[in-house]
Amino acid sequence: MIPKDSATESTPGSDDANGLAEVYGFLALCMRYPDPAFLDQEFLVTFQDLLHSLDRDSQARELGTWLQQDNNPLETLQIEYTRLFINAIPHVIAPPYGSIYVGGAGSLQGKLTEETRDFYRQCGFDLADETEPADHIMHELEFLAQLAREGRLEKTEEFLRRLFRPWFEQFYQRVHNEAGHPFYKVSVDLIDFFTKEEP
């Protein structure tokens, strides 16, 4: 555990907290089922810009090449999302729910799901609806965005350490190794980068 560094405390509206909120919000959308309501040309261009600003030029180029070659990028992503996260032959690659990996004996709605939702509530947040469980990676990133937006970076750290990283690392490996598409590979790379605790 790294000692808390007061120099890095943030206040609402500070650049780093706001920036982090937007990044988490963006990554949450990357982990949401691709819907034309948000996943449009602008989204994909922004994704490439973000990669350039992170000095990930080769990944940005990879996305660019795909976009040039694919007549229907939205459908491509929908099929890949379904394969990776919903249902697939031979099998779904990485169900995006924490409880599958930790504390749930391979089931949905395990102990981790409950702890995750409790954490949201104790921070003054909750799910807008019950369609997906609290430990869907998309919700966890949305929650992190909400916390960051309020400048509560310490809480984001606590959440990441206690409830997010323990399962995300397994999830990340599966997607990273088996994603057939740069979009998801790059997305989980970025999520890893923005959630990783480093010495």
| 31 sits near other proteins (criterion: CB under 8 A) | no
| 72 sits near other proteins (criterion: CB under 8 A) | no
Question: Which of 82, 170, 176, 185 contacts other proteins by CB under 8 A?
Answer: 82
- Of the candidate spans 13-21, 63-71, 166-174, 181-189, the one that interacts with other proteins by CB under 8 A turns out to be 13-21
Cα–Cα dist 71/73, whole Å: 6
| 135 sits near other proteins (criterion: CB under 8 A) | no
| 126 sits near other proteins (criterion: CB under 8 A) | yes
- Of the candidate spans 10-18, 59-67, 166-174, 175-183, the one that interacts with other proteins by CB under 8 A turns out to be 10-18
Range list of H helices, 1-102: 15-30, 41-53, 57-69, 73-81, 98-101
CA distances from 185 to 62, 89, 129 (A): 11, 19, 28
| 117 sits near other proteins (criterion: CB under 8 A) | yes
43-62 residues in contact with other proteins (CB under 8 A) are 43, 45-46, 49-50, 53-54
Question: Which of 11, 68, 69, 105 contacts other proteins by CB under 8 A?
Answer: 105
C-beta closer to other proteins: residue 68 or 72: 72
Cα–Cα dist 167/5, whole Å: 26
| 68 sits near other proteins (criterion: CB under 8 A) | no
C-beta closer to other proteins: residue 63 or 100: 100
Cα–Cα dist 143/153, whole Å: 12
163-192 residues in contact with other proteins (CB under 8 A) are none
Helix axes 73-81, 182-195, angle to 10 degrees: 60
DSSP state of 161: I
| 28 sits near other proteins (criterion: CB under 8 A) | yes
Rounded to the nearest angstrom, the gap between the alpha carbon of residue 103 and the centroid of all alpha carbons in its chain is 20
- In sequence order, what are the beta bridge partners of 136? 97
